[in-house]
Amino acid sequence: MKKKNDIPYGNYEKVLMHICCAPDATYPLFYLRGRHYKVTGFFYNPNVHPITEYEKRVFEVQKFANVVKMPLVLGNYDIKEWFEYIKGLEKEPEGGKRCCLCYEFRLRKTAELAKELHFDYFTTTLSISPHKNSKWIFEIAKSLEEEYGVKFLYADFKKRNGFKSSVILSRYFNMYRQNYCGCVFSKIEAENWRTLHQKTEKSQ
């Protein structure tokens, strides 16, 4: 019986999968392969700050791709273009309008590449995170489908215990797991939260 959130089985169609980080790529890759899709990874995350953090994440995704024999394309580190894209929304909270534009920035590049390289579909691992807004992701993807003429594979990877499975798999592959989303704003917010949490614990 087809489960509510399952995507249909493919016939080994080619999928360009935008990867936000190696841990989040684990479950989506195996899920799509299990449903008969040929997956190529695309690591494109110019939002990640600082460069040392970006390099850690690149290393992890390359290591994973080598182990599981997944073709991988590395995008450019277009951080200046990213800052220009989200200009004016620097003070937005995590999960707000800035994040929506960040999804669009990365998905647009994925759709462009999928069209250029003649993929049947494009998709993203962003939907595996419980902190990401899948509704926004799918709305953006629908618009890009129409603009670029490449189909989007609507997979909400957090379903079917996808996020929990990705945590287990990332431990199995001994992966580095970051403690903030990626951009400088999320880093500051995460550090402020940890500082506040530590102060609260000490006061108790």
What pLDDT tens digit does each residue of the chain (204 aa) get? 344 457 999 999 999 999 999 999 999 999 999 999 999 999 999 999 999 999 999 999 999 999 999 999 999 999 999 999 999 999 998 889 999 999 999 999 999 999 999 999 999 999 999 989 999 999 999 999 999 999 999 999 999 999 999 999 999 999 999 988 889 998 888 777 455 445 444 555
Residue-number span of the structural domain to which 58 is assigned: 13-203
- Residue 56 in any domain: the answer is yes
Split into its structural domains, the chain has a count of 1
Task: Report in angstroms the alpha-carbon separations of 148 from 15, 46, 119.
Answer: 15, 22, 12
Q: From CA 37, how far away is CA 182, in angstroms rounded?
A: 28
- Residue 159 in any domain: the answer is yes
